[in-house]
Structure 1
């Protein structure tokens, strides 16, 4: 194998090791549904193998189907998560055998494929990037399921750098155009393309994500009970749901506690807040006299280099993420303290824009001008409209293979089980 193929093989091995680590639990835990918002873990495990079979073996490799009879079961668009426990799912042992058999054939396809082919699935190993990122995204989903399960001891812990105090609350982004999206990153998804110029007025954006201490102040000052801070839809949701704090937070006297992967601990006030919905983030921003940044504002503050007049792959440049720059890849099962990564700052001085928590933006998930679906419409196109809000940046649970300044995530504005937080922005004062 050449160097590119060896790198792809290593990425395939790493993501599979991760999937198997998250499904080492007892079979009962794997086959149960812990929330109607999530699939049983065993569904995710077999689904990543089926997706790999569909795209690498059949679409790119021209290989006859291995298990065509299970295609319908693992079609994410045919069966909502709440209904998946009723399907005839492969059991844990059979699912592991299936994905192992698929993977052996995938490596054979990798060995034979021409990465310089004109075929867009083959070129630069796009189809392998597709399945690697897809599996990492399901691994993050499995972590959210494990958090909802409340079972202790199922995820690893690790050390994170200390935070630091001081520094400006906001950074300034001058008016002017920038290039949004990408035309060059080989594994970028269709919704990140094409690159296009966006001209923005000047604005301020928070240097750091909103922290637990600041969010607790919002709660203490009655933020959940004052309709002035909520959109009409958000206030309706607030009344229906009865929420009064981030998901997994519990009040005990004067102190806030949280449940995190089966353990109860004091809420660390110096961490970014997580497990909040878009509606909660929007209400906090209004209470703070600010707003959520638009998706374009977020991307410019994160990835644009105004001196070089080009986009960066990561806020700091082209170098791959490492433990001094960002909290990615499940180094620890929590966000890092605020101010922990000054070396990961963007050209404008914004910090912790990748890793730690997905950040809600004020934008709906819409196509870029000139968008073309590839390799299938159901990845992005069917979600465009005014149902899903855009999230940016990646969380502590996201792998670097699926994180970049142009990467777009999206979800319903009510979702809280995902590892979401936010930062605020404001327009320049006239």
Structure 2
């Protein structure tokens, strides 16, 4: 099967059919990697706020697609879909809007084989229906939504694999599981790129194709002149901060960052460890030497802000980031890791929630915006307009940062 990695936002029925199969294959492959380590049993999964029990997450991805595509839901609220789930208690088990996070460890879920059968059945029925759909934005909206949702959960599966394997016996992902998403993790060219500023259309052309609700409404935005790193901050540059006692020097940390630091025993990023003068990190359960040339990975907002304060720099705003990414400046490298910005996650003027009402609206004001993509993000999901968002302390995700001149 040849996977077309063109943007899912304008994919027609044929492209969507291939992409949906690719996404489901990838989800199942990562579930199998987690199951091989025993994490298909919720009792063996630590109750961490940053992970879901893998069996629940697998069922949820299929249920979401069933809800919006097969059951024709125009809303994510209970009762908004027609008919019943293919699983007798599917709505009770897998609706993330009604099943609290902590409750997902105590559900009487079907065995893994039954959940995987459900995944295959939902996909088969979706493909049958898709084969008769018109190449029309309205008709294809639920398919594109389901694809984007599964792609995002595929990446979540991968950082859950990283999190869980760092706590237990290593069980590497299948050799082919990462190949469709593997991208360069080089830090990019050194130095700043100066932009003269000006106006740009934030959100891009929203007259056709798929648009996430938090990207609306497109608006002409002015950006003052600024200078921004061509690439992400490297591990070597961050290691200099560590060696300079950055984690012990409170003047570099924001008030919120100091409060976070007081709850930790940290002197370096998550997964870093030291043996004598040598540093290594843990990647999917295996210790590897730090690659000083690659972008620093698994840092949270507070750590990014502290490095910037130490270096006499600042994080870019999301408007600056989108302006730079959309400039076609060949030296501006992005897509290796998600990038923290200085912008809290807030609605744009004219925001209205789309069918998946819980996607953006509940999180405004409590999350920070990240831009770009990571090596684990499928190419079809990458866009300079995409707004990712996480709480500031999250360092399990595949995130780094770049900086701007003051």
Give the TM-score range, shorter chain. Answer: 0.7 to 0.9
Counterpart-to-counterpart distance in 2, 1:164 and 1:283: 20
Contact 1:169–1:206 (8 Å) recurs in 2: yes
TM-score by length of 2: 0.87
Quote the residue 1:247 is aligned against: 270
Structure 1 regions of 5+ residues with no counterpart?
Answer: 305-345
**Which of 387, 393, 396 is matched with 2:375 structurally?**
396
TM-score by length of 1: 0.82
Contact 1:19–1:139 (8 Å) recurs in 2: yes
Per-residue deviation, 1:75: 1.9
Contact 2:190–2:231 (8 Å) recurs in 1: no
Residue deviations 1:302-347 (CA, integer Å, cap 9, x gap): 113xxxxxxxxxxxxxxxxxxxxxxxxxxxxxxxxxxxxxxxxx42
Quote the residue 1:216 is aligned against: 239
**Which of 64, 71, 90 is matched with 1:51 structurally?**
64
Contact 2:13–2:133 (8 Å) recurs in 1: no
Alignment of 1:131-150 (within 5 A): 131-150=146-165
Note closer, same or farther for the CA distance 1:106–1:160 as it changes in structure 2 (3 Å cut). Answer: closer
Contact 2:187–2:234 (8 Å) recurs in 1: no
Note closer, same or farther for the CA distance 1:272–1:164 as it changes in structure 2 (3 Å cut). Answer: closer
Counterpart-to-counterpart distance in 2, 1:302 and 1:348: 10
Contact 1:295–1:363 (8 Å) recurs in 2: yes
Per-residue deviation, 1:155: 4.3
Contact 1:301–1:348 (8 Å) recurs in 2: no
Quote the residue 2:32 is aligned against: 24
Q: Larger relative contact order (C-alpha < 8 A, sep ≥ 6)?
A: 2
Per-residue deviation, 1:105: 1.4
**Which of 331, 334, 345 is matched with 1:349 structurally?**
331
RMSD of aligned alpha carbons: 2.2
**Which of 293, 296, 321 is matched with 1:298 structurally?**
321
Counterpart-to-counterpart distance in 1, 2:312 and 2:103: 42
1:171 counterpart SS class: strand
Residue deviations 1:265-286 (CA, integer Å, cap 9, x gap): 1111111011111010111111
Contact 2:252–2:309 (8 Å) recurs in 1: yes
Quote the residue 2:191 is aligned against: 169
Counterpart-to-counterpart distance in 2, 1:279 and 1:416: 10
Alignment of 1:12-411 (within 5 A): 12-25=20-33, 26=35, 28-31=38-41, 32-34=44-46, 36=48, 37-59=50-72, 64-65=83-84, 66-67=86-87, 69-116=89-136, 120=138, 122=139, 125-150=140-165, 151-156=170-175, 167-182=189-204, 183-184=206-207, 186-304=209-327, 346-347=328-329, 349-351=331-333, 353-354=334-335, 356-385=336-365, 387-411=366-390
Contact 1:155–1:261 (8 Å) recurs in 2: no
Residue deviations 1:47-88 (CA, integer Å, cap 9, x gap): 111001100001169863223522132122333434311112
Contact 2:23–2:151 (8 Å) recurs in 1: yes
Counterpart-to-counterpart distance in 1, 2:239 and 2:47: 27
Note closer, same or farther for the CA distance 1:104–1:361 as it changes in structure 2 (3 Å cut). Answer: same
1:134 counterpart SS class: helix
Per-residue deviation, 1:209: 0.2
Note closer, same or farther for the CA distance 1:90–1:260 as it changes in structure 2 (3 Å cut). Answer: same
Greater shift in the superposed pair: 273-282 or 28-37? 28-37
Contact 2:21–2:123 (8 Å) recurs in 1: no
Per-residue deviation, 1:233: 0.9
Per-residue deviation, 1:90: 2.7
Residue deviations 1:242-275 (CA, integer Å, cap 9, x gap): 2221111101111111111121111111110111
Note closer, same or farther for the CA distance 1:86–1:164 as it changes in structure 2 (3 Å cut). Answer: closer
Q: How many residues align?
A: 375
Note closer, same or farther for the CA distance 1:184–1:211 as it changes in structure 2 (3 Å cut). Answer: farther
Structure 2 regions of 5+ residues with no counterpart?
Answer: 1-10, 75-80
